[in-house]
């Protein structure tokens, strides 16, 4: 990938899963010659210069997650696009997944998980992300389950998730979670690896301090403070 983006690999039963951190909420997963882009947005990369996608995931319709131009640049014949129902009218060829629905593509399992605010409000009674609209996604790469949460707080549905190996959780109040909220979620969910994302220049130390007594959860900051 261009622009010296941060990359790393995680072993799976089907070979290494290579992750590229493009910026903000834009991620790339490369597994068994399958390229999966999550929330590709043009401010984070030159998508005309990047390899075409096999799968594109869009969590919800906000401008920093849904960019039809980026999706079009990444698309080729056979590209499968999955999104939340509200984003579907803005994406040609996309398949909408409601909260809780599941799909598969090229041997990759995809499950939509509710993503919403409980306390973060645009105005009184109006959450930034209403319940029942946006998705997070659990992606199954061989024997490794990766949770890309989208814009959400530490919801009961998140805390009930099981067998998550890698979790990408957003940390940016008031739109998503504070360090305390993330700590609460991962103490229940118990991922092996936690990547805070959607963080801008957030300080890593408060979250590391909150999770110091659960060393079995590895916290990896790739945005903001390391």
Rounded Cα distance between 143 and 128, Å, is 34
Residue 13 structure tokens: 């039963």
Rounded Cα distance between 179 and 208, Å, is 9
Burial of 157 (0-12, 13-18, 19+ CB in 10 A): middle
User: What is the pLDDT averaged over residues 39-49?
Assistant: 96
Domain extents for the chain? 6-219
Instruction: Provide the mean pLDDT of the chain.
Output: 93
Query: ω before 174 within 30° of 0 (cis)?
Result: yes
Q: Tens of pLDDT along 114-164? A: 999 999 888 888 888 899 999 999 999 999 999 999 999 999 999 999 999
Residue 40 structure tokens: 């590709």
Which one-letter DSSP state was computed for residue 118? S
Which ranges in the chain belong to alpha helices (H)?
A: 68-74, 156-159, 179-189, 205-210
pLDDT score of 5: 65
Instruction: Band the pLDDT of 18: cuts 50, 70, 90.
Output: very high
Which CA distances in Å does 180 have to 47, 171, 189, 206?
A: 35, 10, 14, 8
pLDDT score of 3: 40
Examine the pLDDT at 223 and tell me if it is beyond 70.
no
Examine the pLDDT at 2 and tell me if it is beyond 70.
no
Examine the pLDDT at 190 and tell me if it is beyond 70.
yes
pTM: 0.94
Residue with tokens 């998705």: 135
CATH match of 6-219 with 3.20.20.70: no
């Amino acid at each position: 990938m261009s622009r010296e983006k941060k990359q790393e690999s995680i072993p799976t039963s089907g070979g290494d899963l290579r992750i590229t951190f493009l910026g903000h909420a834009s991620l790339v997963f490369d597994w068994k010659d399958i390229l999966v882009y999550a929330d590709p947005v043009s401010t984070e990369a030159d998508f005309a210069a990047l390899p075409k996608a096999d799968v594109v995931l869009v969590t919800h319709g906000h401008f920093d997650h849904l960019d039809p131009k980026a999706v079009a640049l990444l698309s080729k014949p056979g590209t499968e696009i999955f999104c939340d129902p509200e984003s579907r009218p803005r994406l040609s060829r996309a398949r909408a997944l409601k909260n809780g629905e599941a799909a598969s593509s090229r041997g990759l399992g995809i499950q939509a998980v509710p993503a919403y605010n409980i306390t973060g409000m645009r105005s009184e009674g109006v959450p930034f992300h209403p319940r029942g609209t946006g998705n997070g996604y659990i992606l199954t790469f061989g024997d490794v389950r990766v949770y890309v949460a989208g814009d959400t707080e530490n919801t009961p549905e998140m805390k009930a998730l099981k067998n998550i190996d890698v979790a990408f959780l957003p940390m940016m109040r008031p739109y998503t979670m504070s360090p305390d909220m993330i700590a609460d979620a991962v103490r229940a969910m118990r991922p092996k690896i936690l990547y805070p994302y959607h963080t801008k220049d957030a300080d890593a130390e408060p979250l590391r301090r909150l999770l110091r007594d659960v060393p079995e959860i590895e916290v990896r900051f790739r945005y903001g403070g390391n």
